[in-house]
Structure 1
Amino acid sequence: MRYAICNETFADWDHARICDTVASLGYTGLEIAPFTLAPRITDVSATRRAELTQQAKAAGIEILGLHWLLAKTTGFMITSPDAEIRATTAAYLCELARACRDLGGNILVLGSPLQRRIPEGATRSQATDYALLTLEQVLPALDETGVQLCLEPLAPTEADFLNTADEGLAMMQRLNHPLVKLHLDVKAMSSEAEPIPTILRKHIPHTGHFHANDPNLRGPGFGDMDFRPIFAALHETNYPGWVSVEVFDYKPDPVTIARESIRYMRECAAN
């Protein structure tokens, strides 16, 4: 199992320090939120991208990709009825794919709930059509970079669009591109009717990335979620990708979160 952690867990830490720390705790991958680098990914120069990549490599860390793609930005909306906004959003997602490649990664996790809401007065079906029109414009950049776009279902408490793994799979199938995959997240799956191991056994063949977290917004092992059946399902389905820790509650501190999360995950994977 390959373990990674998301860099925003470490708040304002220097990138090199993050890489050194997570490597010392047993992680081999780092997932990056673009807003931790600059207001927009296009503000991160080629020189800076090369520096970030080199710092990670020096620590023995792979930058696997980007998530929170549109967080803390303005003017973007995947589900917009406005063709110009859709085109602008698609163009930015293309730039994110290029940045991901430059950093040595190959995964874009498309969550960003605020930028994929059902527009006022629109139906869910219409929002789906708008999203498809946006994402179809991104496909050439995926071919260019070799980066996977992983569609992330989110719980209804977070988003009103793309809420289940089945809905994510349906959109993936409509896009019908080998570099469009599902992303599965424990916290989000906990809102579904089916047990998480059942969802995993059904959808792992279509899944490009996986986030480990507790429904209480903390890391694995910091809440009531039992990860042993989850890791059993990942093992049974031969999941080949990363297991990346993503938290939203940063207590008590980054090092404790990272250390105890990987300790617990390894314990669960060994059972």
Structure 2
Amino acid sequence: MRKYAICNETFEGWEHARICARIAELGYTGLEVAPFTLAPRITEVTAVQRAELRRQAQAAGVQILGLHWLLARTEGFHLTSPDPAVRQRTGEYLAELAHAAADLGGNILVLGSPAQRTYPAEWSRQKAEDFALDTLSYCLKALEQRQVYLCLEPLSPTETNFLNTATEAVALAQRLNHPYVRLHLDVKAMSSEALPIPEIIRTHAAWLTHFHANDPNKRGPGFGSTDFCPILQALWDIHYTGWISVEVFDYSPDPETIARESIRYLKECAEKVTPFSKR
């Protein structure tokens, strides 16, 4: 069964309960949350507030699946900082995000945040990776305790110089060697890679835990030239059972249209997917 979700920052200015009710009406069963839509820092969202957000989602038949844009609009955090204190502070904040995701009812953290991971051009990638691994070491206990997956998100070279391909993200996860550090894939980001998107999905099937549906034009699926039929076919072929979450960066024409047309197009493509048993 396919699980469709959408990111809450799409609905800027909407109350949380209204977002949940409307996306449920449109056929979504999951909501992905950007922490900055709740508070400047996730630690400012109290246990009572977290419980209420979760209750409102559940009342609408929606699950808050987790958090993304983890470090966006924050200061003092950086994944590849040369400063040990910054690395520790960043890793400990990721641990707080894991606790928050679980409190909200989710088990996913998407580690994108390009500005907070870019490293100086004169560094080697090995040096940046070593710093990143040290940063992440501070959140592993919380990930395991709360059973939350930290999903590394490859991003294009126009956004950052750290983890630009799925292969690089998997290599970092392999070095860390922790069961709750996994891979996230995003259609817009994958479009910058040399390999076709379906091939990237199949190649890294064993690591894939979360998926963002969007178009390289920064809009939703179906709002650009990307054909999602072979993409969904690849997800079906690898027996992917996670969320397909709509994430846009261009919020035109409006949240309602984005949400309605994105899921309509995804479901239309899904109807064309052929199970192995019927080939």
Query: What is aligned with 1:20?
Result: 21
Partner of 1:119: 120
TM-score (norm 1): 0.99
Q: What are the superposed Cα offsets for residues 91-149 of structure 1, whole Å, 9 maximum, x if unpaired?
A: 10000000001000000000000000113642221111100111112111111111000
Q: Secondary structure at the match of 1:94?
A: helix
The residue that corresponds to 1:76 in the other structure is 77
| Partner-residue secondary structure (3-state), 1:209 | strand
Q: Match for residue 95 of structure 1? A: 96
Query: The residue matched to 1:183 in structure 2 has which SS?
Result: strand
CA contact (8 A) 1:79 1:119 kept: no
Alignment correspondent of 1:181: 182
| Conservation of the 8 A alpha-carbon contact between 1:78 and 1:130 | yes
Specify the SS of the correspondent of 1:244: strand
Could you tell me whether the CA contact under 8 Å between 1:66 and 1:109 is conserved in 2? yes
Q: CA RMSD in A?
A: 0.7
Tell me, what secondary structure is at the counterpart of 1:81? coil
- 1:121 and 1:77 map into 2 onto residues whose CA distance is 17
Kept in 2, the 8 Å contact 1:81–1:119? The answer is no
Q: Would the aligned equivalents of 1:31 and 1:244 in 2 still touch at CA under 8 Å?
A: yes
Give the structure 1 partner of residue 275 of structure 2. none
- Aligned to 1:187, what secondary structure does the other structure show? helix
* Distance in 1 of aligned mates of 2:91 and 2:137: 8
User: What's 1:105 paired with?
Assistant: 106
Amino acid at match of 1:94: A
* SS of 1:4 mapped into structure 2: strand
Distance in 2 (CA, whole Å) between partners of 1:41 and 1:121 is 33
Q: In the alignment, which residue of structure 2 is the partner of 1:140?
A: 141
Counterpart position of 2:211: 210
Equivalent position of 1:149 in the other structure: 150
Match of 1:233 in 2: 234
8 Å Cα contact 1:32-1:66 kept in structure 2: yes
Task: Give unmatched runs, 5+ long, in structure 1.
Answer: none
1:159 is aligned to 2:136? no
Q: Describe the SS at the equivalent of 1:95.
A: helix
- Residue 247 (str. 1) matches residue 268 (str. 2): no
Partner of 1:168: 169
Question: Does structure 2 conserve the Cα–Cα contact (< 8 Å) formed by 1:80 and 1:119?
Answer: no
Q: Is the 8 A contact 1:79 1:127 kept in 2?
A: yes
Say whether 1:11 aligns with 2:19. no
Query: What code does the residue aligned with 1:164 have?
Result: T
> How far apart, in 1, do the equivalents of 2:49 and 2:143 lie?
22
Which letter does structure 2 place at the counterpart of 1:40? R
Distance, in Å, in 1 between the alignment partners of 2:241 and 2:174 is 21
Amino acid at match of 1:4: A
What SS class does the counterpart of residue 168 from structure 1 fall into?
helix
Q: Percent sequence identity over matched residues? A: 66
TM superposition shift of 1:197? 0.4
Q: Distance in 1 between matches of 2:123 and 2:134?
A: 15
**Taking structure 2 as the reference length, what is the TM-score of the superposition?**
0.96
Alpha-carbon distance between aligned partners in 2 of 1:119 and 1:18, rounded to the nearest angstrom: 40
Matches of 2:88 and 2:96 in 1, distance apart? 12
Aligned amino acid, residue 144 of structure 2: D
Structure 2 residue runs of 5 or longer lacking an equivalent are: 273-279
Match of 1:248, SS state, is: coil
Q: 1:88 and 1:120, CA in 2 relative to 1: closer, same or farther beyond 3 A?
A: farther
Tell me the residue number matched to 1:52: 53
